[in-house]
Amino acid sequence: MKQPIIDIQNLRKTYTYYKKPPGLLGSLKSLFHREKLLTEAVKEVNFSIEQGEFVGFLGPNGAGKTTTLKMLSGILYPTSGKVNVLGFTPWDRKPEFQKQFSLVMGQKNQLWWDLPAMETFLLNQTIYEIPEKVFRASLKELSELLEIQDILTIPVRKLSLGQRMKCELAAALLHQPKVLFLDEPTIGLDVTSQQNIRTFLKKYNEQKKTTILLTSHYMDDIMELCKRVIIVNLGRIVYDGSLQELIDKHADYKLLKITFTQEMKRNDLKKYGKVSEFAPKRAVLHVAKAQYKKIAAHILEELPVDDIFIDEVSVEEVIRDIFAVTKTGTV
């Protein structure tokens, strides 16, 4: 059987931290006496990823996404569990492993602030020991795909956030990694720049067959790029599969968005379905998939309807539902 590129078994990570009472007095007290607390950032994570897959890694803040990514890239040692990436255990930090993957964190940059991006690229060439020929080819390809040819010689501090992110990506990909971890690569970018980054990632994944694991809070990123999503919450995996299946399974209702010609009362609508939004002349109803046509017909007949619009549940809502359910512990 073919070995998957990334294989995680029973991964756990527990942090120790200390409780501090609020205020200066509290800080003084905690100098002498403090309460030790343990948090299980990652409780039990198992999954494997095949070569060339583009996987979305979702979860609310503090779910354990970044901690998992940091263990996959060898920054952190786990409390227990096994991880195999490209045949290596990441936290052994073998140079042969480190030369084959890349980690991009949207909130942290590696480019030299006062110098043109090209200088950082040349630095990475020496650090990663990229042969001149490969470097030239890689640079040409990436700068064309990302359309950054013209900004490579401008000091990084003069670039816009979007341009900077493109250069960050180029810097991370010059050594042609086989595995790429992206932690919120589009954070803080405007809509156009986000779209540019997405288009690039999609093309890059298709052309290079690079295995990519992406975390993002923007559902557009996930929907456009990832066939498969892994959702974590409170340190556990709560879903692993295709995005479409997730929607089909959890979204068993449709949305009826109705505008009325005269003001209505909330109680008049309750018999048709769950009222999720209400204004005197406007309402949104959740209606079971099996019956939505019938109910829509009834509403049209019985109420003073100006307009009615039938809509699918958005992915955001599905995900929000899953987070809400898993918080209470039952899936």
Partner 1 sequence: MKRMVVSMSNIFYSIQRYFVVFWRYLRLALQVRLAYRASFFAEFSINVLSAVSSLLFIEFLYANIPAVAGWSHDEALVILASYFIIQSISWLFLMSGMWRFDYMLRIGSFDRMLVRPMHPLALIGFSEIQPETVVDFSLALFLLGRYVFLYSFPPVWIIILYILFLFFGVVILLSFLVILRTINFKTINTWSISIFVQDISNFGRYPRQIFQGKLFRFLAATILPVVFMGAVPAEIFLGKVDWWYVVFGFLTAAVFFLSARFLWNRALKSYSSASS
Residues contributing to the site for partner 1 (CB under 8 A): 15, 61-62, 65-67, 70, 73-77, 93, 95-96, 98-99, 101-103, 105, 108, 110, 112, 114-115, 119, 122-123, 126-129, 155
DSSP-based three-state secondary structure for 171: helix
Burial of 52 from C-beta contacts in 10 A (0-12 / 13-18 / 19+):
middle
CA dihedral 215, 217, 223, 226 (to 10 degrees): 0
- Report, in this order, helix, strand and coil percent for the chain, each rounded to 5: 40, 30, 30
- Which CB, 170 or 296, lies closer to partner 1? 170
Minimum gap (Å) between residue 126 Cβ and partner 1: 5
Residues 214/54, Cβ–Cβ less than 8 Å = yes
- Which CB, 135 or 260, lies closer to partner 1? 135
The residues with which 9 forms a beta bridge, in sequence order, are 82
Minimum gap (Å) between residue 119 Cβ and partner 1: 6
- Which CB, 119 or 240, lies closer to partner 1? 119
The residues with which 104 forms a beta bridge, in sequence order, are 182
- Which CB, 119 or 141, lies closer to partner 1? 119
Give how far the C-alpha of residue 185 lies from the chain's centroid of Cα atoms, to the nearest Å: 9
What one-letter code names the amino acid at 308?
I
Longest dimension (CA), the chain: 75
Q: How far apart are CA 3 and CA 102, in angstroms?
A: 20
Minimum gap (Å) between residue 148 Cβ and partner 1: 20
- Which CB, 40 or 119, lies closer to partner 1? 119
Q: How far apart are CA 41 and CA 68, in angstroms?
A: 9
Minimum gap (Å) between residue 98 Cβ and partner 1: 4
- Which CB, 222 or 243, lies closer to partner 1? 222
- Which CB, 103 or 283, lies closer to partner 1? 103
Residues 242/248, Cβ–Cβ less than 8 Å = no
DSSP-based three-state secondary structure for 56: strand
Residues 106/188, Cβ–Cβ less than 8 Å = yes
Q: How far apart are CA 106 and CA 314, in angstroms?
A: 25
- Which CB, 77 or 309, lies closer to partner 1? 77
